[in-house]
Structure 1
């Protein structure tokens, strides 16, 4: 289906035309330029191996007073002709190698809501900065995240911490879907607030990823070199101050 859509794709934006021509060969070029993706076919062309997961945001009363989670959520509003229903869906897409997108949409039918949410998720694709920031591991591979990150959405706050290799994903089920699609295999997580609100929970994880992308993470060698340069600068400054003090004392005599 995606292949047929790509064959019939006629780009409408300047960015889409450049992707079709081949002058934009990777999605990293789009992120570095700061341009916004306005056509989902751009993601289909540059990231053809994207997978999707539906977040279970809905629920129906079950036996014994429990709630059975459902992929979509139905809301109603009263009208003079009766109740009018809307279906909401939330979809997460990712290639399992550092790219992820989240979309939420409404429609009159379940299938239409999921398709619209998938389309929105493709327009919201972002890179995910990965690494090995755990002091217990320090293997240098991209199995976790390079530093601690905190994200917030509504009343939900999520803290993501680097974990050693082999630990797995210490997160809730819906959080695991997001982390797996982002290509993260080991992580510690802690959540606060009304975490049963799964929409805010997923958006808080996405917020943590965005803050992680804004961080400037150095490699271990670069950090050591910077510390050496700072120590040398401090020593030189102390030496110059001492020489200046000696010179002033000799002039006073």
Structure 2
């Protein structure tokens, strides 16, 4: 379903600022550390988001009224140019579970710091991670390391999906733990990407690694 900003009735002050055109870049929101409370904010500021369903799993649990069965879906969203989100959704049917997961992924969207951090590559383009980072979820550990242009994404399929949506084209990786558990592996990769923006570095060092911000 396409988003029509004219039909949007904002419920928050930030939403109104976005609709009025006062805020035109989602980075303004990220830089201030403000929570995104309306999905329409993401739809308005990053209109070219793509969605990828990575896992659909049947979850059963016992309840006093009997066995409860739900679908759990994991979805990644991204614009393949520096923004990516990861979300989960549960429902009795697959369709509603996917919609919940997409919404959750949009609420969790982050900006991914990219660059050219491999010593053997001096192209200066934002094609890989600028430095080594680690992400952890449960028993799964994932290390992402800079790779020269042309290497591609040396990581499992779940990681490839997330990295492609983030706009990363080349990376070396190491994975440890129960990596076949899709939800944990996906979250570990996503947490590694979040760490990229949390690492403190001087503007001079970032410039050497091809990072534009």
Describe the superposition over 1:197-240 as per-residue Cα deviations: whole angstroms up to 9, x where unpaired: 111111111111111101133445977xxxxxxxxxxxxxxxxx
Bigger relative CO (Cα 8 Å, ≥ 6 apart): 2
Q: Residue by residue, what CA displacement relative to the aligned partner does 1:154-192 show, whole Å, maximum 9, x if unpaired?
A: 100000000001110001011100000000000001100
- Judging by fraction of residues, say which structure has more helix: 1
Contact 1:2 1:44 in 2 (8 A): no
Higher-Rg member (1/2): 1
Tell me how far apart the structure 2 counterparts of residues 222 and 167 of structure 1 sit (CA, whole Å): 22
Rounded to whole Å, the distance in 1 between the matches of 2:160 and 2:13 is 36
Aligned to 1:114: 98
For 2:17 and 2:206, the matched residues in 1 are separated by 38
Q: Distance in 2 between matches of 1:222 and 1:184?
A: 18
* Residue in 2 that maps onto 1:75: 59
Counterpart in 1 of 2:23?
24
Q: How many residues end up aligned between the 2 structures?
A: 207
For residues 113 and 63 of structure 2, what CA distance do their matches in structure 1 show? Answer: 47
Name the SS of the counterpart of 1:171 in structure 2. Answer: coil
What do you get for the CA RMSD once the two structures are aligned? 1.6
1:36 is matched with which residue? Answer: 35
Q: Normalising to structure 1: TM-score of the pair? A: 0.78
**Matches for 1:172-211 after TM superposition, within 5 Å:** 172-211=156-195
Partner of 1:159: 143
Indicate if the aligned counterparts of 2:3 and 2:44 stay in contact, CA closer than 8 A: no
Structure 2: stretches of 5+ with no match in the other structure: 209-213
Q: CA deviation at 1:75?
A: 1.5
Q: What TM-score, normalized by structure 2, do the two folds share? A: 0.92
Work out which of the residue numbers 66, 78, 83 in structure 2 matches 1:94. Answer: 78
Partner of 1:8: 7
Q: Runs of 5+ in structure 1 lacking a partner?
A: 57-71, 224-253
CA distance in 2, matches of 1:219, 1:51: 33
Partner-residue secondary structure (3-state), 1:2: coil
